[in-house]
Amino acid sequence: MARTTARPIATREMRVDSERRRCEACGTRTRADWRSRRCVTLLTGCVRLSVQVRVCHRKGCLLEGVSLRAEGEGDWVLPEHEFGLDVLAFIGAQRYREHRSVPEIHASLRHRGVAISERTCTNLLDRYDELISLKLLDSQRLRETLHRQGRAVLAIDGLAPDVGHEVLWVVRECLSGQVLLARSLLSGSEQELVPLLEEVERVLGPIPIVGVVSDGQRSIRNALSHALPQVPHQFCHFHYLREAARPLYEADRHAKKELKKRVREVRKVERTVEGRQDAGARATRAYAAAVRSALTDDHRPPLKPSGLLLRRRLGAIEKSLERVSKGGPTHQS
C-alpha cells in the first residue's frame, strides 16, 4: 500500500563501510563502486544510512557483478525495511511482555513520535515472530547453551485446540527454559511420540538427558520407555498437586453448591421492596447485592477455594444483619 504521508526527514547520517575487502568466491579484492543511501526510522528519530557497496569484477567469478552490501547495515535494519531493529524489538516487547494489542502498540509509537501505520505494526510483529522462530530452531545455539550446563531435563506436553484437531506437542528443556522442538501431530499415540523424542535426542547430541517430566499420559509413558528407557520419568509438579488436591476441590465444590441453595431466594426478597425508597428498602437491596456478588466471586482452587470464600462472605453478611437486628426497631427493614 502506498504512503499517504511524506517520509520523515533524516536528522543525521551514518556511514556504514564493508569489512570484507575480498570476494568470498575467488579471493580477488573487490572494488567499492558506489554507496546506497536509505532512511531508517528509529525510536530516537530518522537516520540516513550511507551503505558502501562493493563489487567483484573478475571475469568468470561466481559473484562477478553481484552487489555486496556492507555487513553493518544489518545492525540497523532488516533488508527492504524502513523501520529499525529497535522499533521491531519495541513492538515485540510490547506484544509479548506487556500484552498490548496492535492498536495500543501503534498509539504508543505515535506518542513517541514514530510515524508508522497500524498495518505496518502488524507486519513488523510478523517479522519479529519469524526472527524468534529462527532463533529457537537454531540447533547449534541450543547445543552451546546446553553444553554449558552439561545436562538436560525435558518437559513434554501436548496442546489440543479442539477435539479432532492436530495436537501441538512441545518439548522444553526445564533448566534453561529453551524450547527444543514444537510440532503438530495428528494424535498423541506412542507411534507418533517416539520419533519426536528421538529427534530431540539427536538435537541434544552428546548432552545427557537426566530426567523427563510430563502429565503422566499413558502414551507418553510408553513412548519414553521405548525411546529413552534409561531416563527417569516423573509427574510434573503442577499435575501432581492438582491430582493431590482433587478431593479437596470436590469437597469445596459440593460445599459451595449447598451454600447457594440457602440463599437462592434472594431475588424474592428484593421483589418485596420493589418501588420503595425508604431506608429499610435501600438496606435490603444493598444486602441482596452483597449476596449476589458473593455468589459470583469465584477463585481458583485449591489454593483459593471458592466454597470457603463464599462461606466467609456469607458469614460476614449474616453478622452484619445480626448487628442491624440488635440495633432496635428503627434499624429493622
In this structure, are residues 108 and 100 in contact, taking their beta carbons and an 8 Å threshold?
Answer: yes
How many Cα atoms sit within 13 Å of 58 on the Cβ side? 14
Domain that holds residue 122: 12-133
Q: Are residues 60 and 170 in the same domain?
A: no
Give, to the nearest 10 degrees, the angle between helix 102-111 and helix 85-96.
130
What's the CATH number where 170 sits? 3.30.420.10
> Residue 222 corresponds to which cell in the numbers above?
510408553
Q: Is the pTM of this model over 0.75?
A: no
pLDDT tops 80 at residue 299: no
DSSP tally for the chain: helices H, then strands E: 11, 9
Q: Are residues 173 and 80 in the same domain?
A: no
Provide the pLDDT for residue 79.
87
Residue 216 lies in a domain: yes
Q: Are residues 314 and 228 in the same domain?
A: no
**Helix, strand, or coil here: 266?**
helix
In this structure, are residues 53 and 34 in contact, taking their beta carbons and an 8 Å threshold?
Answer: yes
pLDDT tops 60 at residue 333: no
Residue scoring higher pLDDT (281 or 52): 52
Q: Are residues 233 and 172 in the same domain?
A: yes
Residue 139 lies in a domain: no
Q: Pick the last residue of a domain from 203, 220, 240.
A: 240
Q: How far apart are CA 158 and CA 196, in angstroms?
A: 12
SS (H, E, C) 179-239: EEEEEEECCCCHHHHHHHHHHHHHHHCCCCEEEEEECCCHHHHHHHHHHCCCCCEEECHHH
pLDDT band, very low/low/confident/very high, at 331 (cuts 50, 70, 90): very low
Q: Are residues 163 and 268 in the same domain?
A: no
pLDDT tops 50 at residue 326: yes
In this structure, are residues 212 and 204 in contact, taking their beta carbons and an 8 Å threshold?
Answer: no
Q: Pick the last residue of a domain from 184, 214, 240.
A: 240
Torsion of CA 80, 86, 90, 93, to 10 degrees: 100
Residue 144 lies in a domain: no
Residue type for position 52:
Q
Residue scoring higher pLDDT (75 or 302): 75
Neighbours of 103 (CB within 10 A): 10
How many domains does the structure of the chain reveal? 3
Q: Are residues 40 and 91 in the same domain?
A: yes
Region class of 277: left (phi > 0), else alpha (psi between -120 and 50), else beta: alpha
